[in-house]
Amino acid sequence: MMIKIPKPIYHVMVDHAQKESPLECCGILGGRDGTVRKAFKLRNEEQSPVRYSMSPQEQLSVFDEMDRESLDMLAIYHSHTHTVPFPSETDVRLAFYPEVASVIISLKEETPVVKAFRIREDAIYPEEIEVV
């Protein structure tokens, strides 16, 4: 599987991660047919450098907006400020939407690295990202 992210939205996610650092950032990517159309930046309720959580109210607001714009939730994104872009044990445990991609922005290196995964009960599957 592949998720297509337009370059401006890709930069919105990376900028969000860099601005929130040293705390993790989080957000939702909405789109159609595997192509992201909009990034929704959410507040990390944990205010933590190693965990994130989204407020249910903010999520509902995003879901309502996606419904109005006929968008599907394609991915949830968040940053890892000091580790590689691979799902942590916490990410796996809290992966409530196995049908959407989990996009991780790693700020460990000087240049941010963005990777996507499908987190299922049986395994973690890499997903390709194409920046378009």
Confidence (pTM) = 0.94
Of the CA atoms within 13 Å of residue 46, those in its CB half-sphere come to 14
Alpha helices in the chain (DSSP H): 7-20, 56-68, 89-93
Residue 109: CB atoms within 10 A of its CB come to 9
State the pLDDT at residue 125: 94
Which tens digit of pLDDT belongs to each residue from 81-109?
Answer: 999 999 998 899 888 888 899 999 999 99
Q: Which fold has domain 2-131?
A: Cytidine Deaminase; domain 2 (3.40.140)
Q: What's the CA gap between 17 and 105, in Å, rounded?
A: 7
Strand partners, 73: 30
Q: Any idea what DSSP says for residue 16?
A: H
Position 121 scores a pLDDT of: 83
Taking Cα atoms as reference points, which of 37, 35, 24 lies closest to residue 78?
A: 24
Report the Cα 19 to chain-centroid distance in Å. Answer: 15
pLDDT in tens, the chain (132 residues): 799 999 999 999 999 999 999 999 999 999 999 999 999 999 999 999 999 999 999 999 999 999 999 999 999 999 999 999 999 988 998 888 888 999 999 999 999 999 999 998 889 999 999 999
Contact 100, 67 (CB under 8 A): no
